[in-house]
Chains A and B, each alone.
Chain A
Amino acid sequence: MVKVYVPRDSTALSLGADRTAKAIQAEAGKRGMQIELIRNGSRGLFWLEPFVEVATSEGRVAFAPVQPKDVPSLFDADFLNAGAHPLNLGLTEEISWLKKQQRLTFARSGITNPVCLDDYVAHHGYKGLNNALKMTSAEIVKAVTDSGLRGRGGAAFPTGIKWNTVLGAKGEQKYIVCNADEGDSGTYSDRMIMEDDPFVLIEGMTIAGIAVGATQGYIYLRSEYPHALKTLNEAIAKAEQAGYLGQNICGSGHAFNLEVRRAAGAYICGEETSLLESLEGKRGQVRFKPPLPAIEGLFGKPTVVNNVISLATIPIILDEGAQYYADYGMGRSRGTLPIQLAGNIKQAGLVELAFGATLRELLYDFGGGSATGRPIRAVQVGGPLGAFLPESQFDTPLDYEEFSKIWAVLGHGGIVAFDDSVDMSKMARYAFEFCAIESCGKCTPCRIGSTRGAEVIDRIVANRGNAKEHGKQVQLVRDLSDTMINGSLCALGGMTPYPVLSAINHFGEDFGIESAKKAAT
């Protein structure tokens, strides 16, 4: 029977993948043809979803994007035998957008059925765990340290060092907490892992548990991801049935249990201590540090808090070895970064590459320029707390240190493109507004400063041309930003000035800064 693949990823669904799948099934039935319809994950070529594939003796052949109306003509063209058709893109693996990538964390995404454990195991699944079970805790932690993996949730803290602290902490009960709150606009790689290859996250967390001596794991999942919730729960149940989770993992004597907990729509709960408060059933207010969560975390116990991508990268490190992973990348940014192209971009989707590629390559070679066909004027990298970068900075390589040199961040790897119709004063205002909506309320510069900030931006815009008042207001926003940077407990208040000041510094004309200067002379 010919295998036909139609993704079940929620972005594919958002473009009608369910209707496409139904149409294919119905058309096959009508023609008396037998097919095996597989709902795979997404390859991440979201600009081409619904992305249908047909298995042939040469490999999988892609037809995309397929809407229900295209289905009869695909059958007419004998697409089940890779027949010629305007939507026939040839062998999937040869599509250059995909071929140019280095898929390590996302090695299986789109290839397998996300909730089929056999499929997972047949594609290198659980090899990392098998290796880990033969190692001591210290050896596992050392491998993670040697791989150079740094937290992909935003702060880029070395994962091995964090694990080592938890390993060394005294405590009968320790926890592994997966941060799946993915609140940054322009990011969806966590969602993809959970929907398209959930076993890799389960395996990564299991390895983490064995490494530090934790027997309970929680995935704190944002409430905006109902599809991921279903997929994760289905995968966890299957892993339990097969003995990959539970009291005696693969007969090793190690115990590890896993539970998904739903968040409730607060951006701040992505901050790790606020997340822990929320898991404990409280308001998501940020905690003072120290104590570090690694020492006193969930319910006061030593806790590893890691991002989805960090944890999902553990299996390949344990499978292929630390050096294999560390061989990718540049400088102190080792391995690969799953980059998410978003916003006004023609070919949006998931691009996993070794650190070091430039923004320009991402935006043009992969992204194909803007979706609207107008020039890309600004990009925001790293979510709502990330700086806006102008064209003159597009040659910056994706590397944590190179970005911090230009007062920018990579964050969780989201890149949002804007064309030249963007009004950057609106974006700066929005950054303050977002901070005001999402502030946990613990510190004044963030709670009050954000609302004042939005008002100051309004006054800057209103006083274009009135040099004296305008200059005063611009100075005010700079002073306010200083206060927020220095006086905030966490990065919500502390980094909101990144998008604000980068917008003012690089796109002053949108704030009337040039015209105000002119009026003064």
Chain B
Amino acid sequence: MVADLTTQEKLDMASKIDAHIAKNQHMPGALLPILHAIQDDIGWVPEACYLPISKALALSIAEVHGVVTFYHHFHTHPVGKHVLQICRAESCQAMGSEKLEANVKAALGIDYHETTQDGAVTLLPVYCLGNCACSPAVMLGDDVYGRMTADKVAEIVAEARAA
């Protein structure tokens, strides 16, 4: 997908990355804050950031790569406009999350770690959202939803798509 970017877009991305590095590089343990800042802004962590980060923090590129890929939160590929996470952990299983995930996957026509064709929704598994009192739970963007059914998920996804 990176190949699809125009030269201008690549330059924009690079300057954003540089700005996030410059802003965060002097704090102790700066790597995660930098990666968060990049993903919050761009939506994912492009490989193009490895070299400038490694230079700024005196790390090897392999080290940066190792950290990015260790953490489930960081996306190494572009994601859809909205990220939908379905909780797979025990409390939600006790309230039927297995059926929920099957139905949501079928409705969206995608599996975990995939994005709908229109680029609107990326589906991810998550292990507990701290909403276990109202299982099963899902998260769309930064918003948590409790006592979910496939129909309710379809509703919030439709709302997000329309917005």
Q: Which of A46, A227, A265 contacts B133 (CB 8 A)?
A: A46
Q: Which residue of B lies closest to A44 (CB)?
A: B133
* Contact present for A299 and B127 (CB under 8 Å): no
Q: Which of B8-16, B24-32, B103-111 contacts A (4 or more CB under 8 A)?
A: B24-32
B40 → A minimal CB distance (Å): 10
Q: B57-87, CB under 8 A of A: which get 1 and which 0?
A: 1000000001100111110000000000000
Contact with B along A135-167 (1 / 0, CB 8 A): 000000000000000000000000000000000
Interface check A453, CB cutoff 8 A: no
- Chain A interface, >50% SS class: mixed
Do B35 and A185 touch (CB < 8 A)? no
Q: Which of A77-85, A117-125, A338-346 lies at the interface? A: A338-346
The reply to whether the CB of A272 lies closer than 8 angstroms to some CB of chain B is no
Q: Any chain B CB within 8 A of the CB of A507?
A: no
Q: A184 touching B128 by the CB < 8 A rule? A: yes
CB distance from A301 to the nearest CB of B (A): 11
Inter-subunit contact A266/B127 (CB<8 Å): no
With an 8 A cutoff between CB atoms, is B2 at the interface? no
Shortest beta-carbon distance from A448 to chain B in Å = 18
Bound state CA distance, A430 and B33, in angstroms? 32
A335 sits at the interface (CB 8 A): no
Contacting B at CB under 8 A, from A1-58, are 10-11, 13-15, 46-47, 49
A226 within 8 A of B: yes
B contact residues around A418 at 8 Å (CB): 94
User: How many residues from B make CB contacts under 8 Å with A?
Assistant: 41
Which of the candidate stretches A281-289, A465-473, A485-493 sits at the interface with the other chain? A281-289
B-chain residues with CB within 8 Å of residue A278 when the two chains form the complex: 32
Q: Could you tell me if B91 and A265 are in contact, using CB atoms closer than 8 angstroms?
A: no
Chain B contacts for A416, CB-based, 8 A:
90-91, 94, 132
A187 contacts the other chain (Cβ, under 8 Å)? yes
Q: Given A185-B89, A188-B131, A262 and B145 touching (CB < 8 A)? A: no
With beta carbons under 8 angstroms apart, the residue of B66, B71, B89, B95 that contacts A265 is B71
Please state if A225 and B130 are interface contacts (CB–CB under 8 Å).
yes
CA distance A430 to B89 in the complex (A): 9
Number of interface residues of A (CB under 8 A): 59
Contacting residues, chain A, for B157 (C-beta < 8 A) = none
Query: Are A185 and B134 in touch, CB under 8 angstroms?
Result: no
Q: A343–B91 contact, CB under 8 A?
A: yes
Kindly identify which residue among A284, A340, A430 contacts B70, using a CB–CB cutoff of 8 Å: A284
Q: Given the known A-B contacts A13-B143, A188-B131, are A264 and B91 also in contact in the complex, defined by CB atoms under 8 Å? A: no
User: Do A430 and B71 touch (CB < 8 A)?
Assistant: no
- A-B contacts, 10 of them at CB < 8 A, read A10-B144, A185-B132, A186-B128, A224-B128, A340-B132, A343-B94, A418-B94, A427-B93, A434-B127, A437-B127
Residues in B lying within 8 Å of A, measured CB to CB? 28-33, 35-36, 57, 66-67, 70-74, 89-95, 126-135, 137, 139, 142-147
Interface residues in chain A, defined as those with a beta carbon under 8 Å from any beta carbon in chain B: 10-11, 13-15, 46-47, 49, 182-188, 190-191, 223-227, 261-267, 278-284, 299, 340-344, 348-350, 371, 380, 384, 414, 416-419, 422, 427, 430, 434, 437-438
